[in-house]
Amino acid sequence: ESDICCTSANVVKVMESLPDERVICIPDRNLSMWAQKNTKKQVIAWDGFCHVHDRVTKDDILKARKEHSNAVLMAHPECRPEVLDLADHVTSTSGMLRFAKASDAKEFIVGTELGLMHRLKKESPDKVFHPLRRDMICPNMKKTTLNSVLSALKEMKNVIKVPEEIRIPAKKALDRMLEIK
């Protein structure tokens, strides 16, 4: 049972909001280590990871920089620490959208799931975006489509029922996160 939830976009704010000096952060060890560098908290990292971000290597960064030497490299905080150390900007996917739009740079290397490329190009059509790796695809994120959501809502199928003894504490953890400004 979690006391509070976080995302890669708000992990630092969430941790700083907690009164405790030690925080157990699950499920991503890389996000936990990045948060540790950006907070005063002692972070105990769970040994889980996002397979898409975790497979990015230092060599991938060096190759991308060689191919696109004028590009700003944005990396997701769920990438390994040695990758983040070489990035120009470390931020969540929503942070990448904001950063690219506000930046004077015209060319970017994008170190996150390829699904973000479409939105980056749509929101910043005057800029050029290169994927850090062409295989940064999450099959789990591709399972839910607009058609599957529409079908589920129309037909009320695939309903997930969460027992109250799980739902109530889970909602409290979500609500605590949403209260943080």
pLDDT, block means (10 residues), the chain with 181 residues: 93 95 95 95 95 98 98 98 98 98 98 97 98 96 91 90 95 95 80
Q: What is the structure's pLDDT at 158? A: 84
Can you tell me the distance from the alpha carbon of 85 to that of 76, in angstroms, rounded to the nearest whole number? Answer: 12
Can you give the pLDDT at residue 159?
86
Contact 116, 92 (CB under 8 A): no
Q: Are residues 33 and 8 in the same domain?
A: yes
Domain membership flag for residue 39: yes
pLDDT of residue 1: 85
Q: What is the CATH number of the domain that holds 83?
A: 3.40.50.10800
CB 16 within 8 A of CB 41: yes
Number of domains the chain contains = 2
Asked whether the beta carbons of 125 and 101 are under 8 A apart, the reply is: no
In a domain, 138, yes or no: no
Q: pTM of whole model > 0.85?
A: yes
- Expressed as residue numbers, the domain containing 81 is 52-131
pLDDT at position 172 is 96
- On whether both 97 and 32 belong to a single domain, the answer is no
User: Quick one: three-class SS letters along 72-139?
Assistant: EEEECCCCCHHHHCCCCEECCHHHHHHHHHHCCCCEEEEECCCHHHHHHHHHCCCCEEEECCCCCCCC
Considering the domain architecture, whether residues 33 and 59 belong to the same structural domain is answered as: no
